[in-house]
Amino acid sequence: MKIPAEQVKELRQQTGAGVLDCRTALEQAQGDMDAAVGILRQKGLAKAASRAGREASDGIIDLYSHGEGRLGVMVEVNTETDFVARTPEFREFAHEMALQVAATAPRWVSRDDVPEEILAKERKAAREDALAEGKSEKVVDRIIEGKLEKFLNDACLLNQPYVRDEERKVSEVIQDLILATGENISIRRFERWEIGEALE
């Protein structure tokens, strides 16, 4: 099937993927734009996974202040080279992550960062709630896992729905940028401060 150049250009603008990748995806999808995006996303997941082990020690720190200084966020986003770190797309992504943290107040970057004692406490509370509601032992474990999944999706930045497009998770937005830049990208850490919050 011959794919028009305009369609390749449109897919490239939408995904940031290379021309050849876009043409191949459109051919595989027989011209269906949504299916081609899905193909590129799957290809991007594989590429992102292969780059995950590469060191990302360059990057930037983005600062965001909201409400006339009543809320502040600092986010460190890393990539492999200063060349990518200086690009407008990377800087915009870092700023978007600062906005995400300001809006959603995550507690950790990823599931791996959540202390085991917090997970144990959440499991215990979910079990007690399920049993208090009279749920049978057969379904309690599934209820616990469901509540734990919801807790992690709320508390971990990478698991959260992206504030600009709630159909996608933050981790998917990162994977798209990895595909577009060809480099490993990670959110190393963040801090969020709000006037009047309790000190730990």
Query: What local confidence, expressed as pLDDT, does residue 68 receive?
Result: 85
- Write the DSSP assignment of 161-193 as a string of letters: EETTEEEEEHHHHHHHHHHHHSS-EEEEEEEEE
| Mean pLDDT computed over every residue of the chain | 86
Query: What local confidence, expressed as pLDDT, does residue 112 receive?
Result: 92
Q: What is the largest CA-CA distance in the chain?
A: 62
Query: What local confidence, expressed as pLDDT, does residue 55 receive?
Result: 66
Alpha-carbon distance 185 to 116, whole Å? Answer: 26
Ranges of residues in the chain with a pLDDT under 70 are 15-16, 44-56, 198-200
The architecture of the domain spanning 5-51 is Orthogonal Bundle (1.10)
Query: What local confidence, expressed as pLDDT, does residue 31 receive?
Result: 86
Closest CA to 8 of 19, 17, 37, 16: 19
Alpha-carbon distance 17 to 45, whole Å? Answer: 13
Query: What local confidence, expressed as pLDDT, does residue 35 receive?
Result: 86
Query: What local confidence, expressed as pLDDT, does residue 60 receive?
Result: 93
Query: How much is the pTM?
Result: 0.70
Q: Kind of pairing, strands 185-194 and 165-169?
A: unpaired
Tokens 């159909």 belong to residue: 167
Closest CA to 15 of 46, 35, 43, 41: 41
CATH of 58-110+156-194, one of 3.30.479.20, 3.40.228.10, 3.40.190.10, 3.30.200.210: 3.30.479.20
Please, what CATH class does the domain formed by 115-154 belong to? mainly alpha
Closest CA to 98 of 16, 200, 170, 153: 170
Domain pair 58-110+156-194 / 115-154, same fold: no
Alpha-carbon distance 183 to 47, whole Å? Answer: 9
